[in-house]
A = this chain, B = another copy of it.
Amino acid sequence: MRAERIFTDARLATMDPACPGLGVVEHGMVAEAHGRILYAGAARAMEADEIVDCEGRWITPGLIDCHTHLVYAGDRAAEFEARLQGVSYEEIARAGGGILGTMKATRAASFDELRNAARKRMAALVAEGVTTIEVKSGYGLSPEAEYKCLDVAKSLGDVADISPTFLGAHGFPPEMERAAYVRLLCEEMIPHVAAHNLADAVDGFCEGIAFSPEEIQQVFAAATKHGLKVKLHADQLSDLGGAALAAKFLALSADHLEYTSEAGAAAMAKAGSVAVLLPGAFFTLREKQLPPVEVFRRHGVPMAVSTDLNPGTSPLFSLLLAMNMAATQFRMTVEECLLGATRHAAAALGRGDVGVLKPGAKCHLAIWDIERPAELVYRIGFNPLHQRIWSAA
């Protein structure tokens, strides 16, 4: 076995599901050929074209941000400022702000404008060792604008693995009746997205202020019919049974989940759905209701952690910070946070070839200047990344 490149004198957190915890290897190495991991484990002799001496640093899989709304135009800084001055959400909405403000700006923006703006945001994630990013549409809310956003998402794949998700069911466009938009989603947009391979999955926002469970059911039925996996913004502000609904459709993940019931968690466990927890939105919205982490543990629901990067409720550009917030706010352990940004995040995207250091996986690595993995969760606003390896192949 000859490697193209070996990373020696490293400590590994392999995230290997066959090992307990983080799958730590204290005296480890990683070998790569053709962009894939040939070997990850205890140090041993191996021939290689190139040797990277890690000088005792830690290697984790490249991090995975499995829930982002990275593609949008405009920002909501002025709204943020107004809200702190006491202006209400309703007044902001009446003045054309909120999600509809972002929708208007996104519709008006060109492909290049959207791409350039997304690039800058993405750079912040990439600088922290993120190598795989889920990117949702959902600020277009028309066929043309939604497809444009998915095209932009795909175009970002020259810097990281991109997993595009169709979130047409994010809100209702002001120019249409609810039922007509649901029909448009099910009969035109989802078939188009599937036929043109624009997205890996279909997502929806199930909430009193968004889509009802019945409407989501229609959207998911259409997705399933067209061979697309589903995921769901569920139970963020109230318990509408979103987690159970997602599980019924064997969703890759249900996300947010502050109000999820024990029955919802049990259904997710049975369906194999990942619980994606989003502490940035919890923080920004000053929520009080904690997601039922202990219930997910008891039922064996894998938990992921993500930024939820979006202009309104979570303008959070750091997955390291998302982990810290998940630990501090949700009392997730260091191990849960780190698995939640690697192996479990991969599962939330239906991918088995990233988020883990094992033979056959993509050679996406993050090499860290740390003494123990806990430092990645403990520090707030500090980036100890030494090197990021992203293997395009």
Contact = CB atoms under 8 A, between A and B. Distances in A.
Given A328-B286, A374-B78, A380 B84 contact: no
Contact of A124 (B124, B371, B382): B382
A31 to B, nearest CB: 29
A245 to B, nearest CB: 30
Interface stretch (A38-46, A131-139, A329-337): A329-337
Contacts of A178: none
A349 to B, nearest CB: 22
Interface in A302-352: 314-318, 320-321, 327-329, 331-334
B378 A381 contact: no
Contacts of A77: 371-372, 374-375, 377-379
A317 B380 contact: yes
Contact of A378 (B81, B286, B321): B81
A380 B75 contact: no
Interface in A77-133: 77-78, 80-81, 84-85, 121, 124
Interface string A207-244: 00000000000000000000000000000000000000
Copies of the protein in its oligomer: 2
A284 interface: yes
Contacts of A314: 380
Residue among A314, A377, A381 having the largest count of chain B Cβ atoms under 10 Å: A381
A280 interface: yes
Contacts of A85: 333
Contacts of A299: none
A314 B379 CA distance: 9
B84 A334 contact: yes
B334 A380 contact: no
B333 A80 contact: no
Residue among A80, A84, A121, A316 having the largest count of chain B Cβ atoms under 10 Å: A84
Contacts of A284: 328, 380
Give the size range of A's interface with the partner: 35 or more
Given A84-B332, A84-B334, A379 B78 contact: no
A76 interface: yes
Contacts of A382: 121, 124, 315, 317-318
Contacts of A372: 77-78, 81
A286 B288 CA distance: 12
Residue among A283, A378, A383 having the largest count of chain B Cβ atoms under 10 Å: A378
Nearest to A76: B378
Contacts of A374: 77-78, 80-81
A334 B381 contact: no
A156 to B, nearest CB: 17
Contacts of A320: 381
Given A379-B317, A380-B318, A80 B283 contact: no
Contact of A377 (B80, B329, B371, B377): B80
A124 B381 contact: yes
Contacts of A327: 80, 84
A381 B318 contact: yes
A380 B78 CA distance: 15
Contacts of A380: 280, 283-284, 314-318, 321
A338 to B, nearest CB: 11
Given A284-B380, A382-B124, A81 B316 contact: no
A283 to B, nearest CB: 6
7 contacts: A77-B372, A81-B333, A84-B331, A286-B328, A286-B329, A317-B382, A321-B381
3 nearest interchain CB pairs? A318-B381, A317-B382, A81-B374
